Chain A
Amino acid sequence: MTVGLFIPCYVDQFYPQAGIATLQLLERLGVDVVYPPKQTCCGQPMANSGFSHLTQDCDDLITESFAEFDYVVVPSGSCALHIKDHLHSDKHPDDARHLRTKVYELVEFLTDILKVKDLKARFPHKVGVHQSCHGLRGLHLSQMSELVAPPFSKPEQLLNMVEGIELIPLSRVDECCGFGGTFCVAEEAVSAKMGKDRVADHISHGAEYITGADLSCLMHMEGILRRQKSNVKVMHIAEILNSL
């Protein structure tokens, strides 16, 4: 099995350590991973702002870069969802259609494809899990609080394999953090308020770290935590699962 690694633009530029952890974790689990160098961005910031008609070139780049792999793994729920829902290519329509079915966010790849049963990881801290909306409601990484259905959580399933970790409960289990792509600047006031409230929920339950499968949300919350001079840190789930 060969996996193509998609590293979202902002992870590449601002959080390379999450990309490295993803790569190392997959390698430790025996997966053959390749990072195709021509990738840039999934195109979501444009599409969510109403400019999906401008993203053909970047869709083509993705399609050409990843067509040959068995799976594509993305350490970001919202980018994975965007590719799954919206990737299309006039140049290679079949490849693009096929690719949409092969894209997995990291957590779901670990639980659903690799079916990981144990991890040799240790992280002796109190951790709050932020359910990013696109991972949660788009990819169904966990059960959603609005629906009447039995509970499950793929991120927690994995985190519970980590030695020493203590997952903290939250008052509002799956409320949005307010990042929302360009929403965070276009609707600055509401976005910042949502972020503050989200962070406060974690802090009031004693979190030392906030983790999740989407760095965009974590970046937003990190910005707020640092402005508040808080000691609470954010960390991508791959880094926790990869910590020894």
Chain B
Amino acid sequence: MKDHAALSEEFNIDEPRVNWHDETLWLIRQKRDKAVHGIPEWEWLRETASQVKNNVLSNLSAYLEQFEANALANGVFVHWAADANEHNEIIHSILRKHQVERMVKSKSMLTEECHLNDYLTENGIEVIDSDLGERIVQLGNEHPSHIVLPCIHKKKEEIGDLFHKYLGTAAGESDPQILTEAARQHLRETFLTRKVALTGVNFAVAETGEFVVCTNEGNADMGAHLADVHIASMGIEKIIPERKHLGVFLRLLTRSATGQPITTYSSHFKSPRQGQEMHIVLVDNGRSRQLGRENFRNSLKCIRCGSCMNTCPVYRRSGGHSYHSVISGPIGSILAPNLDMKEFADLPFASTLCGSCSNVCPVKIDIHNQLYKWRQVLVKEGYVSNTKAISMKTMTWVISFPALFAFAGKTGRWAMKNLPFLVNNKLNPWYKAREMPVPPKESFRDWYVKNRGQK
């Protein structure tokens, strides 16, 4: 298994592509800046959202039970899933009950997290993702590289090739207008023929038992409105107390995500229409464990806007797939080790801790501080290489003794000057793209003793 450093080194072989990826996402960050600077009360909105979510996390079980009671009263079936597997089995059982073998899905990162597509495919059920970006990565047999812009890593020419292969567009066609139209026709047929539609949930309101799904393409609505059965999968942290809080979150979500004032479609679902069946699956899958980790519980406030990815200078230059986790970027690096510390031990280190993520986060998650805290946990638990541990121990030893530090500094500087090949070689990762600093004659310490004496 390659770690983030190795995967991003591969991504960086093609520098023009890295530039393109960086510039595309930076453009979205700029759109976000423009949108938020149009709202004088922006910081107040962030603070309010953060406090609402604090309340939710402190009373999660009560709000979930309230939501369940209201949803049941609305005529909705409510299911609880402790983990990914249970979630998948629940979905499968609903499909079996209705004897359907094809399902249309609107973008849901939770089903990605649960690997629902693979599970259903193995069980002979065909799933079509109806979000354009998700459909593209699905055709390309890939995973999303971004939670809001799943195929942001693909250029339009590459999408044209996929569409030529699977949807019959002309070879070499890369005009976005034409490709989108082809996808529309293809998906329309899907919407009209599927009996079961699955959507994600952006916000679930405890007070009313309703939920809200936000999409720009209206694909969730198309699926849900035409199907006989609507299944909604939601992580248990998606709950908000009252309907009035939606005003805060809807204003924050898309401005942060894409710089739009509001999503094109923010659809409210409360009860099934006549003859339709509606199911809600409430999924834990590690969330209550994260709630119990005091230093990391804040990560559950995330509303999945993706702006921490767009602003992250490391994400922009390493690509979403380098995080080898469903949720990539800064927030993914906090969520993933909760699921598996060993597999994702590299992710909290895939950051310079610049802090831009914490500043754009609409719910004020202290993302970079949590990354710092994960590092301490992962090292203590032993998920760090021996070489690193030894070099850190040596370094702490040297700096623990001023005389030894001065001596090591002197020897080091002497060696750099007189034996430059010791450091200026391929084994020194610094030297691959950067020159070493030129060692001065004397350290500050030496200069001070000479020029100021011991005061």
Contact = CB atoms under 8 A, between A and B. Distances in A.
A225 B5 CA distance: 23
Given A45-B395, A51-B379, A137-B356, A187 B434 contact: no
A133 B355 contact: yes
Interface string B316-356: 01100000000000000000000000000000011111111
Given A14-B439, A186-B5, A193 B432 contact: no
Interface string B403-438: 001000100110000000000000011101111110
Contacts of B36: 148
A223 interface: yes
B12 A190 contact: yes
Contact of A57 (B9, B26, B400, B439): B400
A27 to B, nearest CB: 10
Nearest to B408: A13
Interface string A8-34: 010111111101100100000000001
Interface residues of B, number: 78
Interface in A90-142: 133-134, 136-138
Contacts of A189: 5, 8-9, 11-12, 318
A205 interface: no
B9 A226 contact: no
Contacts of A222: 435, 437
Contacts of A14: 413, 437, 439-440
A194 B313 contact: yes
Nearest to B345: A50
Contacts of B355: 133-134, 136-138
A223 B435 contact: yes
Interface stretch (B114-122, B152-160, B289-297, B445-453): B445-453
Interface in A147-194: 147-149, 172, 174-176, 178-194
Interface string B160-182: 00000000000000000000000
B405 A190 contact: no
A231 interface: no
Interface stretch (B39-47, B59-67, B215-223): B39-47
Contact of B378 (A12, A23, A50): A50
B363 to A, nearest CB: 14
B314 interface: yes
Interface band, chain A: 35 or more
Given A138-B355, A224-B434, A38 B402 contact: yes
B376 A149 contact: no
A212 interface: no
A175 B313 contact: yes
B349 A186 contact: yes
B395 A16 contact: no
A243 interface: no
B219 to A, nearest CB: 31
Given A16-B440, A52-B376, 15 more contacts: A40-B405, A47-B372, A49-B349, A50-B378, A58-B396, A133-B352, A133-B355, A147-B43, A148-B36, A148-B43, A179-B352, A183-B352, A194-B352, A196-B433, A223-B433
Interface of A: 7, 9, 11-17, 19-20, 23, 34-35, 37-41, 43, 45-55, 57-58, 61, 133-134, 136-138, 144-149, 172, 174-176, 178-197, 219-220, 222-224, 226-227
7 contacts: A7-B445, A16-B442, A55-B396, A133-B353, A146-B311, A193-B15, A196-B433
Interface of B: 4-5, 8-9, 11-12, 15, 18, 22, 26, 33, 36-37, 39-40, 42-43, 311, 313-314, 317-318, 349-356, 358-360, 372, 375-380, 384, 388-389, 392-393, 395-396, 398-402, 405, 409, 412-413, 428-430, 432-437, 439-440, 442-449, 452, 454-455
